[in-house]
Structure 1
Amino acid sequence: MEAHALRQYGSTGQYTSALYGASLIYEITGEEPRVIISNEEEGSEVVVSKATVLNEYLVTVKDKVIHLLLLDKLLNTAQDQDAEVSNQLLSTTITSFAQAERFLYKFHCHRTLLSEIDKKVMEASEHIHPSSDVDQMQNVLQDVLIQCWETLLKKHSPILQTDTNFQDLLFRALDYYVLGRLHEMLWWLVCERCQVVDQLVKTRLSHLRHANLSALQLGVPANYYTPLPAAVVELASLASVESAVGRLQCVNSSIDLIQAQAKEARVTLHQYKDQEGEPELALSTEEVVALLTTVVVQAQCSQLVANIYYMTHFVFSVTEDDPLWKSLGLLRLALENIMKLDVARLPPATKNMRKELSLQDLMQVSAEVESRFETKGASRSIGDITALDLQLHQLTQQIQLSTQALSETHLTERNSASRRSDRTAMSPTQDSGKVQSFREFLSSIPSSLRESLRRRQSQQRSAIQSSLHG
């Protein structure tokens, strides 16, 4: 009813609804029959819809004359969007700032309110400065999020207001939207707090990379070992994501890629050996952490501790049982592993992994791989063929095809010796005091979300339910 209560707006003959404000402009024409026309802008297009006035009544209420118009159909309002959205909730996900912004702006009832939200964000930024402690900043930000969430939610139909999936989607979108606008300020403060410990981690990561740390040395079965380039690229992009919840999504995506690539390697090996039954696809937590450890080392993520601190304190829309939150726990375990590792005490790698090869080196590796597969012949059940062997075999075949197709292309030899010359024997710091300070710092970062936020959200949900059913 409130959506259909029109108020005069601007020039004579223009009206807005009491509920949606200026996001929808209506005009009542004087034609016969009279109609109400609503004009909406959808990108570059203007959508026009009409409702015919069947009859008109004048009613006096408190000395005011109210016009009641009997229409042949409902006005085109955001309620129509709500009906469409309710059918798409299960397939809707928000995993980036761009998706969050599109989700918020696609509702007509949000558009006038988002400018007010931007003002609240600016007001909240005044409380973010070096003298503010983390608890104070969290309280300010969660107040803004709860207020914005409740304000937007009340603009929707009762069906969506009480739908927990929509409530969570809206809160996740606001988490991206609000915290994304404050990212630079928050991230600078977090980096300042974590810079000393991050330098210690950076030194350790550099050492492990030069030591060619392999997942095989961390206990991953040799048969299932495979490089994880997609996961490395995903995690290396962490610094380009401008919100805490976005970075948490990035970590989760990296772990998903690790599991997908590892499972694919196991399936490929199982099929190659013509083994019966189904391959063992489930990775243990230890295997996931070991693989994630090597991915972190290869990605050489800068400010890793700051990122963990940032995601722990400034993500508000993720519950403790969400896969996103569990992925943060796995990253913490990987970081603890990294700081405890002593390369000298690890078992030697079964293969001398080299990440950079000259043309001659590549040709030699190709010949060795092909000779191994030729000697095996049809004997695919022999156990020393691994997932890595299969990947090298496929790469070798691709190189051969490429060489044949581009036989006239002159390949320039890369100076591998000069590239390897900078691999100095960098050893990790042996200062036990620094390592201990790192452990104390990491343990001081809480591993659970703020209970007050969860409690306030629950109270707001109950209040919305009561107001709609009371």
Structure 2
Amino acid sequence: MADGDDLDFNPFFQALQTTFKQQYSIARHKCHLVCIPATDTLQGRTINQRFVETHILRTSPFFQGQYISTDKDGSKTIAVEEGNIVTLEGFQDEAEVRILSEELAYNEDYKPYKILVIERPLDGTVQASASRARSQSMLGDAQRITYQENHQYLFSFPECKKALVRLDRNITEFTNNYMIVTGYLDHAVQKLQGICQQATEDILKLCKRERQIDSIAQAVESYVVGSVHTKMWQAVCQQCQKEESLLQKKLEELRGVTGEQLGVKEAFCCPLPGAVVELATLDGLKTPLEKLSCLKRTLDSVNEEVNAHLRENQDPTSDDLPCLVSDDLILLLVPVLVQARCLHLPSNVFYIENLQWSLSSKDDLGFSLVTFKASLEYMMSADFSQLRATMSPTQKNNEISIPELMQAAQHMTLQPGPGEWEGRGAGAEAESPGKMTSFDRKLESITRMMERSSQELAAAPMPLKSITGETGDQQRAGGKRGEQVPDVIPLRKADKSGLGDFLSSLQDDFGCSYGKQT
């Protein structure tokens, strides 16, 4: 839930499931709108029949976007407009109540209905202390990732309306009038950076929130870049076209390749469907922060899936699991990039590095970018032609398809389907351990496809050329059943086990090339 408001501990939602169970059952059956005031605004409030009828509303038969209270007279009317609820009729005062989050639940007939968590009750105000605490929580240091979250955060400062109007005017002018000339993309980047800096200064002057300068600067950048995403993304892809053409050839050469063939330790070789599905969403994200977060989630997924594989195959007599370090991650990412069809990875890297200016390059997000750049550099520099020639037709063709991949990605990013909702719909019960949801079945299907693609290994190791200049003559042990595999990554030294020699050698090029230096 947004802002840490958990419905399971909300007194009004609890009352709907106990004292007012019949009213809530009718609301679910008829797919009414259910408004849940934030937990900390319900202290001292009496939750009675009138309160319930005010916050469970049916769709107006007359006006789109309006809802009517469920008391017998339908005495109250509200409208849902741009993230707010506006009280229109039947209330003591006309007011706007902000929507904090929205959930889509399903009734026993698998029909959807909306649950809105709102800033305060619709029929009155809360105590000033609670209201101030809520405001501070909303405008605090909670991390906002998506374009929409940063947009809502910026426009939560009513005193900054003038600055935000000016910002929108500058964005519109850039979108409609600014021409990006081929070869001069850096001028457009500087123009956007100037817009962001000016807007941040204007907002800070009006709202006097110097302690939140980093949060405001990040929100401004995400809002500005997200608003001009279509225009800038096309220009970035055009500038990176040459690199992406080469990458496309490399991805074709690597279709069906397995981690073992690239030199990944046998213990770490396993299907990585979650990472593939996560990375497949990268091109569709609007802001550098969203894209960086996607890269981090992909690496997290690789780690989780490899660790799960290690635990499943762990020696019962040993408590220690092998450690997955950066050099292993770089190689493991190659099949993930191939399966996810990351044709625009060079454009994404450029977009991230050049269109955000407030993030540090030395945190987890920065490390994620460095790791992907290292994997990209390896793919672009190494010669995989001979490896492709030795692969069987089954390996070359037995891959997950793009429609299947995107369908699975949608299941990860959109609301759950019928039967997958737990604890929100009528009669919803926890799924039994043996019962799988449609999303679980989708991931299992992807896993089976990837397992089939890794069943056949090349008969002999191929002498791949290392991007560090070493040749395939320098080989290390670690292949399947003791086979020798190419040393595509230099051997790690003991004193750099946490980072890896290969990644360390790229630090000067990749480590601090973007963002705010700390």
TM-score range (shorter-chain normalised) is: 0.5 to 0.7
- From 364, 375, 380, the equivalent of 1:339 is 380
Q: Give the aligned partner of residue 184 of structure 1.
A: 230
Question: Quick check: 2:259–2:332 contact (8 Å CA) kept in 1?
Answer: yes
Gaps of 5+ in 2: 1-83, 85-91, 100-120, 400-433, 436-448, 450-505
Q: Give the aligned partner of residue 96 of structure 2.
A: 41
Q: Give the aligned partner of residue 168 of structure 2.
A: 118
Give, as a single letter, the amino acid of the residue that structure 1 aligns with 2:320.
Answer: E
1:119-149: per-residue Cα shift (whole Å, max 9, x none)? 1212344445125723322222112112222
- From 319, 334, 340, the equivalent of 1:277 is 319
Which secondary structure state, in structure 1, belongs to the residue aligned with residue 96 of structure 2?
strand
Which secondary structure state, in structure 1, belongs to the residue aligned with residue 281 of structure 2?
helix
Q: Give the aligned partner of residue 99 of structure 1.
A: 149
1:231-264: per-residue Cα shift (whole Å, max 9, x none)? 1111111121122332222222211211121122
Task: State how far apart, in whole Å, the 2-side matches of 1:344 and 1:132 are.
Answer: 32
Question: Quick check: 1:38–1:50 contact (8 Å CA) kept in 2?
Answer: no
Task: State how far apart, in whole Å, the 1-side matches of 2:375 and 2:274 are.
Answer: 18
Displacement after TM superposition at 1:196 (Å): 2.6
- From 136, 146, 154, the equivalent of 2:197 is 146
Gaps of 5+ in 1: 1-22, 24-36, 52-72, 358-397, 400-413, 415-441, 459-470
Task: State how far apart, in whole Å, the 2-side matches of 1:135 and 1:174 are.
Answer: 20
Question: Quick check: 1:206–1:300 contact (8 Å CA) kept in 2?
Answer: no
Question: Quick check: 1:175–1:245 contact (8 Å CA) kept in 2?
Answer: no
TM-score when normalising by structure 2: 0.50
| RMSD of Structure 2 on Structure 1 (CA) | 4.0
Aligned residues: 301
Question: Quick check: 1:289–1:333 contact (8 Å CA) kept in 2?
Answer: yes
Task: State how far apart, in whole Å, the 2-side matches of 1:42 and 1:301 are.
Answer: 42
Pair 1:450–1:253, CA change in 2 (3 A): closer
1:363-421: per-residue Cα shift (whole Å, max 9, x none)? xxxxxxxxxxxxxxxxxxxxxxxxxxxxxxxxxxx99xxxxxxxxxxxxxx9xxxxxxx
Q: Give the aligned partner of residue 355 of structure 2.
A: 314
Q: How does 1:37-116 map to 2 (within 5 A)?
A: 40-43=95-98, 49=125, 82-85=135-138, 89=141, 92-111=142-161, 113-116=163-166
* Pair member with larger Rg: 1
Give, as a single letter, the amino acid of the residue that structure 1 aligns with 2:136.
Answer: A
1:249-288: per-residue Cα shift (whole Å, max 9, x none)? 2222211211121122222322xx32333323x3211101
TM-score when normalising by structure 1: 0.55
Task: State how far apart, in whole Å, the 1-side matches of 2:274 and 2:293 are.
Answer: 15
1:98-120: per-residue Cα shift (whole Å, max 9, x none)? 22223223343345543322112
Which secondary structure state, in structure 1, belongs to the residue aligned with residue 313 of structure 2?
helix
Pair 1:262–1:168, CA change in 2 (3 A): farther
Which secondary structure state, in structure 2, belongs to the residue aligned with residue 42 of structure 1?
strand
Pair 1:38–1:171, CA change in 2 (3 A): farther
Q: Give the aligned partner of residue 237 of structure 1.
A: 281
Asked if 1:206 is matched to 2:257, the reply is no
Give, as a single letter, the amino acid of the residue that structure 1 aligns with 2:217.
Answer: F
Task: State how far apart, in whole Å, the 1-side matches of 2:308 and 2:193 are.
Answer: 41
Whichever structure has more helix as a proportion of its residues is 1
Give, as a single letter, the amino acid of the residue that structure 2 aligns with 1:198.
Answer: E
Task: State how far apart, in whole Å, the 2-side matches of 1:128 and 1:251 are.
Answer: 31
